[in-house]
């Protein structure tokens, strides 16, 4: 039994896939990395370039947390295997995996190119499969169960177009529940988060007008704009002892946007 302020994360080892970023912005992966470390986990921050991962590691260390960075292209099986081995070599175990990486798309099925469809599927779905493939045996060998969180989107269930993105995120829901069914007996919980519009570098780096931003904000029933911290806190909850009876869950974190008929930018 954990006490009321202990999330049961002390000494756990977590991999956050896509936890890096530039020097300032707070994306969903960076926020989850920082919050997991603040809750006592040792965090391996993975990003496609080591320098992006290292920026987040530095932010964690400034807060007296424990973290290591690694650069890897998680669309490649050998790179995913390398990341899991990095965890075992450095900290001797693995307990948590936050599968966070994803890219956007814009077009309808008629406008979408085959090349971009394949790129979206390759980045939004394949790394979740590959990282889980190598992480689950490592979690089982670590002997303490495990927790995996896959990041989908409300575009999976309430699409606003964005065809290839919506399709890839829909597949993430099924993947998460299939993994939960297969690996519950191994003590591994698998859950999925469906964020609504969140103000992160991925969405504002191509530019966002004031009106687009307020449209995203006003789509929420409570007129709040989501941040990476909102998603990071949901990741921490799902990975914690407090969620020990929660698996196969699809958690919407969107300020009620998916219940609102308002356009969300
Ligand atoms: N921002 C939103 O409004 C929003 C809404 C719904 C869902 N989401 C989902 O949340 C997740 C995170 O989004 P975010 O906007 O917070 O981004 P983020 O800031 O967490 O960045 C994702 C990171 O993934 C990294 N990455 C991309 N391809 C990679 C690869 N092949 N190998 C390793 N790393 C790679 C990028 O470099 C980037 O640093 C995504 O899956 C996204 O689809 C975001």
Quick one: tokens of 46?
A: 């993975």
Q: How confident is the model at residue 150 (pLDDT cuts 50, 70, 90)?
A: very high
Q: What's the pLDDT score for residue 3?
A: 54
Give the total number of structural domains in the chain. Answer: 1
Within a domain: residue 179? yes
Strand 13-17 to 96-99 pairing: parallel
Within a domain: residue 7? no
* Burial degree of 176 (CB within 10 A; 0-12, 13-18, 19+): buried
**What is the span of the domain harbouring residue 142?**
13-259
Q: How confident is the model at residue 1 (pLDDT cuts 50, 70, 90)?
A: very low
Quick one: tokens of 48?
A: 């496609």
Q: What percent of the chain lies above the pLDDT cut of 70?
A: 98
Q: What's the pLDDT score for residue 222?
A: 94
CA–CA separation, 49 vs 257, rounded Å? 33
Positions marked catalytic: 165
Question: Higher-confidence residue: 260 or 145?
Answer: 145
Within a domain: residue 264? no
pTM of the model: 0.96
Yes or no: say if 167 and 145 are a contact pair by the CB < 8 Å rule: no
Å from CA of 104 to ligand 1 middle:
9
Within a domain: residue 8? no
Q: What's the pLDDT score for residue 161?
A: 85
Q: What's the pLDDT score for residue 4?
A: 60
Within a domain: residue 265? no
Q: Is it the case that residue 262 has pLDDT exceeding 90?
A: no
Q: How confident is the model at residue 85 (pLDDT cuts 50, 70, 90)?
A: very high
Within a domain: residue 160? yes
Within a domain: residue 6? no
Residue whose CB lies within 8 A of the most ligand 1 atoms, among 16, 19, 25, 28, for a mutation test: 28
CATH of the domain at 202: 3.40.50.720
Within a domain: residue 152? yes
Segment 216-255, tens digit of pLDDT: 888 999 999 999 999 999 999 999 999 999 999 999 999 9
Q: Is it the case that residue 23 has pLDDT exceeding 90?
A: no
Alpha carbons within 13 angstroms on the beta-carbon side of residue 4 total 0
Å from CA of 4 to ligand 1 middle:
32
Q: Is it the case that residue 2 has pLDDT exceeding 70?
A: no
Q: What's the pLDDT score for residue 27?
A: 97
Lowest mean pLDDT of 109-113, 186-190, 192-196, 216-220, name the range.
Answer: 216-220
Q: Is the CB of 100 under 6 A from ligand 1?
A: yes
Distances in Å between the Cα of 143 and the Cα atoms of 14, 114, 124, 205, 259 are: 15, 43, 29, 41, 41
Yes or no: say if 180 and 137 are a contact pair by the CB < 8 Å rule: no
């Amino acid at each position: 039994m954990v006490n009321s302020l202990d999330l049961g994360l002390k000494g756990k080892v977590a991999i956050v896939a896509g936890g890096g970023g530039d020097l300032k912005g707070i994306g969903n992966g960076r926020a989850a990395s920082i919050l997991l470390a603040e809750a006592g986990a040792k965090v391996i921050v993975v990003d496609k370039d080591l320098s992006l991962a290292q920026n987040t590691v530095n932010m964690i260390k400034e807060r007296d947390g424990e973290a290591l960075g690694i650069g890897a292209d998680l669309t490649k099986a050998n790179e995913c295997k390398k990341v899991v081995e990095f965890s075992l070599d450095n900290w001797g175990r693995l307990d948590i995996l936050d599968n966070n990486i994803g890219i956007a798309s814009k077009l309808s099925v008629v406008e979408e190119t085959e090349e971009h469809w394949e790129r979206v599927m390759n980045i939004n779905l394949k790394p979740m499969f590959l990282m889980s493939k190598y992480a689950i045996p490592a979690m089982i060998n670590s002997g303490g169960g495990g927790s995996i969180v896959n990041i989908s989107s409300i575009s999976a269930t309430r699409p606003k177009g964005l065809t290839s993105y919506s399709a890839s995120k829909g597949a993430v829901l099924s993947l998460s529940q299939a993994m939960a069914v297969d690996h519950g007996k191994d003590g591994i919980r698998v859950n999925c988060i469906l964020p609504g519009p969140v103000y992160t570098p991925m969405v504002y780096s191509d530019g966002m007008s004031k009106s687009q931003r307020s449209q995203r904000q006003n789509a929420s029933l409570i007129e709040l704009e989501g941040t990476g911290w909102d998603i990071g806190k949901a990741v921490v909850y799902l990975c914690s002892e407090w969620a020990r009876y929660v698996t196969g869950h699809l958690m919407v974190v969107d300020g009620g946007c998916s219940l609102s008929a308002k356009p969300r930018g």
